[in-house]
Amino acid sequence: MSPNTLVQEPATPPQPTTTAFDADRFNASVMTTYGRFPIALERGKGCRVWDVDGKEYLDFVAGIATCTLGHAHPALVEAVTQQIQKLHHVSNLYYIPEQGELAEWIASRSCADRVFFCNSGAEANEAAIKLARKYAHKVQEIQYPVILTAKASFHGRTLATITATGQAKYQKGFEPLVDGFAYVPFNDVRALEDAIGDIDEGNRRVGAVLLEPLQGEGGVRPGDARYFQEVRRVCNENGLLLILDEVQVGMGRTGKLWGYENLGIEPDIFTSAKGLAGGIPIGAMMCKKSCDVFEPGNHASTFGGNPFACAAGLAVGKTLLDEDLLNNARVRGEQLREKLNGILQRYPDTFTEVRGWGLINGLEIAGDRDITSIDIIKVTTEKGLLLVPAGPKVLRFVPPLIVSEAEVNEAMEKLESAIASLLG
């Protein structure tokens, strides 16, 4: 008797598999810390993803500027598959060759000499904050060091990094915050100099300045090169450390490997995470040898720099260079901004500005229009284009760095059709 004889023919043809995702059930067991769009994603390839019902989307979110090589890139798949079969995790009690290789890759292509690995952007910034404080005690001889950060900045969700974040909405309800931070307006060097002068009460002084080269969450606001050059000068004159948060803009996103290359300066310390390993969790804090005051035991991370994450980072780095993706980010970014400027001109009452570098771009909605970024994104999502807001009035465009000319055109057609249908 063949096994098939036991299989009964269904009395009715099989139902089409409706996988309608049960969001209520999901929210019953997952903490509701996120406002989610009502789709559940299941599969991806290149710049496209598919939801559980098989609907296709062009992905201009890329895990929020994280999936550098898009989805299921053969180089990343190959690297992590090989590494997990060989050795995926060991403690930092031992030397990890892949960690050394990735640190060398970064150090040889940046102003930094040394790297500390962790698992996220917030952790990388925490490491930078700890290093700056140790440097203040040991080198600057400041007993209560203050780190200046910018208003409208974003540095993460841990207690120290929400404190560093110059936006009350991330801090509210989580007081008491961490001591030792003060805020200045972005792109305003006079305000920075004034704050350095004002915060000088005996042992309490400014030791470091922490800035994003381009404010991502704060609305895709590029730093002004002249401002950053002045900040560099002020830091030099006062013996302060300049720390750059490159978590969103680093690893090629802006068309340069590091965001600070757009500004004509070098930081003393910078951090990276999101795109560094293309979506495999990783974080890194880089510094010049002159400010590496960490000693054994000062800082650590169980997962930080494990073979799996570092193999992924190395594969992303190699592919960025092999496939000339920095150039692609520049060219596709120009194309994207040109298209966005066309939309701006056709809807001058609705949009006010297009701004960005490489493949991190924003389209700002007029403040007096009764329409938010989420309103527009709900419609683009229905039309098969994923976008992410950067605040209530800015649409953010951060596709994978492999995005093609045709994909940019397709995304812009979907966006314009969403705007047209929303505005009637």
Pick the stretch among 120-128, 197-205, 293-301, 343-351 that binds ligand PLP (CB under 6 A). Answer: 120-128
Q: Is 303 one of the annotated active-site residues of the chain? A: no
Integer angstrom CA distances of residue 396 from 65, 153, 185, 297: 10, 16, 22, 40
Among 145, 156, 219, 223, binds ligand PLP (CB under 6 A): 156
x-or-dash pattern for ligand PLP, window 183-222, by CB under 6 A? -----------------------------x---xx-----
Q: Which is nearer to ligand PLP, 137 or 151 (CB)?
A: 151
Q: Which position among 117, 154, 270, 303 bears the catalytic label?
A: 154
Is 273 a binding residue for ligand PLP by CB under 6 A? The answer is: yes
Q: How near is the Cβ of 157 to ligand PLP at its closest, in Å?
A: 6
Alpha helices (H) along 116-208: 121-135, 159-164, 168-171, 189-198
Q: Is 138 one of the annotated active-site residues of the chain? A: no
Is 48 a binding residue for ligand PLP by CB under 6 A? The answer is: no
- In whole angstroms, give the CA distance from residue 106 to residue 286: 8
Q: What residue has token string 């991806």?
A: 44
Pick the stretch among 13-21, 195-203, 241-249, 386-394 that binds ligand PLP (CB under 6 A). Answer: 241-249
Among 247, 265, 280, 402, binds ligand PLP (CB under 6 A): 247
Closest to 105 in 3D by CA, of 303, 311, 317, 261: 317
Among 70, 121, 250, 358, binds ligand PLP (CB under 6 A): 121
Q: Is 274 one of the annotated active-site residues of the chain? A: yes
Tokens of 65: 């500027």
Pick the stretch among 51-59, 135-143, 150-158, 304-312 that binds ligand PLP (CB under 6 A). Answer: 150-158
Q: Which position among 274, 339, 393, 414 bears the catalytic label?
A: 274
Integer angstrom CA distances of residue 295 from 240, 291, 292: 21, 12, 9
Q: What residue has token string 């994978």?
A: 400
Tokens of 402: 């492999």
Integer angstrom CA distances of residue 349 from 221, 320, 371, 422: 21, 39, 12, 14
Tokens of 319: 């592919």
**Cβ proximity of 402 and 329 under 8 Å:** no
Is 309 a binding residue for ligand PLP by CB under 6 A? The answer is: no
**Cβ proximity of 71 and 57 under 8 Å:** no
Binding footprint of ligand PLP on the chain (CB under 6 A): 120-122, 125, 154-156, 212, 216-217, 245, 247-248, 273-274
Q: Which residues are catalytic?
A: 154, 245, 274
